[in-house]
Chain A
Amino acid sequence: MSIIEVNHVSKKFSKPYEKTLKGQLISMLKREKVHNQFDALKDVTFDVKESEGFAIIGHNGAGKSTLFKILSGIIHPDSGEIKVKGSVAPLIELSAGLHPDLSGLENINLNCAILGIEKEKIDEITPKIIEFSELEDFINVPVKYYSSGMKARLGFSIAVHNDADILLIDEVLSVGDKEFKKKCNEKMLEMKKEGKTIVIVSHSLKSLKKLCDRAMILKKGQVVDIGDFDKMVELYETKVSKKKPAKQG
């Protein structure tokens, strides 16, 4: 049964155009294009099955992040439709605009509340989140004093403990030390066994092998192919990317 269905989704962006009046006149004289649209996503169709690990892979600018934002409801597509059956928990970075003066504990409360979890449930999962993140000693310290690794740990712990049906991950796992990464992977495998669905947007493929069953390759906003994870990785490494996939975020 599909838990996420994406049908013929397209999204156009106009390139941000921020020139002064003078700059505009000059580019008019040079006969540059003034209004410029590009397809971030073009007729994307796929589905994700229940309790499946699904990877969306592609270069920078392939439309991964746009797709991620559409799946989590932040932006709406120009055309096409998306059906999501179940609750979605995107893994968000804690640096993402939460109050840096708030402590780790307060950020847990806030983050859970943002995900629409009820008060009693928040109180129930908070100790689990703290334990998993291994931040017991720092939980009352304002988040602005956290290292990026600590923030990532807290963010991940919140995302995996809130009982959503679908976990959306946008290559944030690259932070944190080796052991915590291992712990994260184990936790996600466990979640999959419990029947949770995991969608990962990434361009680094190494860490995903255990977790993902299927993958979709995006290139310039279009679907290249969808299928078995190993096959897709092979295809991606030989044909889609001529050189080795870049490592930067």
Chain B
Amino acid sequence: MKLLKILGLYDLMKYKALVYFLVHREVKVRYKNSVLGFFWTLIEPLGYMIVYSIVFKKILNVSRGLDHYELFLLSGLIPWMFFSRSITRGIRSIRSNAKLIKKIYFPRHIFPLVIVLSEFVSFIPAFVLVILYGIILGVPFDWLHVLILPVVMILYIVIAYGFALILSILNVYFRDIELMSTILLRAGQYLVPIIYPISRFMKNPDLAHYLPYYLINPLAVIINSFHTVFAIYKSEAISYWYYLYVFIFAVVLLFVGMAIFRKLDRKVGEVV
């Protein structure tokens, strides 16, 4: 019981009607006045896919040794966009609800959570389409990875929420966070295996040395495991111990995030 309170889960249980309502609203409002509706979720990664496939396949030839480079790109890009959108929008979530926060008290860590969950709701059908694309191409699955994927997704949500918690509350005090995040997310996109596979590290003896450091980033492990749904992108470099590491990272991040949030939350009613 105490643990639930520390993690803010107790509040979330009490306010589950609110969380449900707000997520529903987010998803509904987003596609309300657009003709293409849901396809807007796909258009962004598809646009990137086209550009990347021109640059990295045709010009830089990164794709050598990778079959169906477009599928590889999409199966990394779409999960990455869930994270990147959760953070960009999550950071602003407390600030943009300032009016409401000044009027009435309720647990404010609901705001970043709602953003993360609503992004996840848009992510799922997009990823299902990626899998369908894989089926159409006749790419074999790595069934073990398909099985652990739900766990990976939950850890992914927890990590996105943990970061969104810390950054959203800091952004109330320092606007810089919002501006800085764009740069960091752009850099982050190149530090996870979206454009290149992790196996690239193994092939180059100079790089292989750096792989353990590269994998300190739990997002790299997660994005890789989305690729690995397709057996052709499987890499021996990642042992299952890395998933244990990601799990510990997610739990610690949630604890730390909640602690920071609670500390800074006390003055939000005045500052925001």
Q: A residues touching B (Cβ–Cβ < 8 Å)?
A: 13, 69, 72-76, 90, 92-93, 96-99, 101-102, 106, 109-110, 112-119, 122
Contact at A74–B18, with CB atoms within 8 Å?
Answer: no
B190 at the interface (CB under 8 A from A): no
Contact at B269–A97, with CB atoms within 8 Å?
Answer: no
Contact at B98–A101, with CB atoms within 8 Å?
Answer: no
User: Closest A-chain residue to B14, C-beta based?
Assistant: A116
User: Closest B-chain residue to A99, C-beta based?
Assistant: B25
* Secondary structure call for the B interface: helix
Binding stretch for chain A, among B72-80, B99-107, B214-222, B230-238? B99-107
- Report the Cα distance A106→B22, complex, angstroms: 11
Option from A74, A98, A109 in Cβ contact (under 8 Å) with B105? A74
Contacts A74-B103, A74-B105, A74-B269; A117 near B29 (Cβ below 8 A): no
Contact at A109–B99, with CB atoms within 8 Å?
Answer: no
Contact at B17–A97, with CB atoms within 8 Å?
Answer: no
- CB of B81 to closest CB in A, whole Å: 25
Contact at B99–A113, with CB atoms within 8 Å?
Answer: no
* 24 A-B contacts (beta carbon < 8 Å): A69-B269, A72-B105, A74-B104, A74-B105, A75-B270, A76-B269, A90-B103, A90-B104, A96-B100, A96-B104, A97-B98, A98-B100, A101-B29, A102-B25, A109-B21, A110-B22, A110-B25, A113-B21, A114-B106, A115-B104, A115-B106, A116-B106, A119-B16, A119-B17
* Secondary structure call for the A interface: loop
- CB of B52 to closest CB in A, whole Å: 36
Contact at A97–B14, with CB atoms within 8 Å?
Answer: no
Option from A75, A90, A92, A122 in Cβ contact (under 8 Å) with B269? A75
User: Closest A-chain residue to B105, C-beta based?
Assistant: A73
- Report the Cα distance A116→B110, complex, angstroms: 12
Q: A90-B104, A96-B103, A119-B17 are in contact. List 13 more A-B contacts (CB 8 A).
A: A72-B104, A74-B104, A74-B105, A76-B269, A92-B104, A96-B100, A96-B104, A97-B103, A102-B25, A106-B25, A109-B21, A113-B17, A119-B16
Contact at B97–A97, with CB atoms within 8 Å?
Answer: yes
Interface string of B89-119 (1 = CB under 8 A from A): 0000000011111111110000000000000
- CB of B107 to closest CB in A, whole Å: 9
- Report the Cα distance A114→B21, complex, angstroms: 10
- CB of B15 to closest CB in A, whole Å: 6
B266 at the interface (CB under 8 A from A): yes
Interface size class for chain B? 20 to 34
- CB of A235 to closest CB in B, whole Å: 31
B267 at the interface (CB under 8 A from A): yes
Residues of B26-63 whose CB lies within 8 A of A: 29, 32
- Report the Cα distance A95→B127, complex, angstroms: 38
**CB-defined contacts of A93 to chain B, threshold 8 Å:** 103
- CB of A74 to closest CB in B, whole Å: 4
**CB-defined contacts of A101 to chain B, threshold 8 Å:** 29, 32
Contact at B106–A13, with CB atoms within 8 Å?
Answer: no
Interface centre among B17, B22, B100, B102 (most CB of A within 10 A): B17
- CB of B168 to closest CB in A, whole Å: 16
**CB-defined contacts of A115 to chain B, threshold 8 Å:** 104, 106
Contacts A74-B102, A75-B269; A99 near B29 (Cβ below 8 A): yes
Option from B16, B29, B101 in Cβ contact (under 8 Å) with A74? B101
- CB of B22 to closest CB in A, whole Å: 8
**CB-defined contacts of B267 to chain A, threshold 8 Å:** 75-76
- Report the Cα distance A118→B105, complex, angstroms: 17
- Report the Cα distance A75→B103, complex, angstroms: 10
**CB-defined contacts of A117 to chain B, threshold 8 Å:** 17
- CB of A69 to closest CB in B, whole Å: 6
- Report the Cα distance A112→B21, complex, angstroms: 11
**CB-defined contacts of A13 to chain B, threshold 8 Å:** 270
Contact at B15–A113, with CB atoms within 8 Å?
Answer: yes
**CB-defined contacts of B98 to chain A, threshold 8 Å:** 97
- CB of B175 to closest CB in A, whole Å: 13
**CB-defined contacts of A97 to chain B, threshold 8 Å:** 97-101, 103
- Report the Cα distance A69→B103, complex, angstroms: 8
Option from B14, B16, B21, B101 in Cβ contact (under 8 Å) with A110? B21
**CB-defined contacts of B270 to chain A, threshold 8 Å:** 13, 75
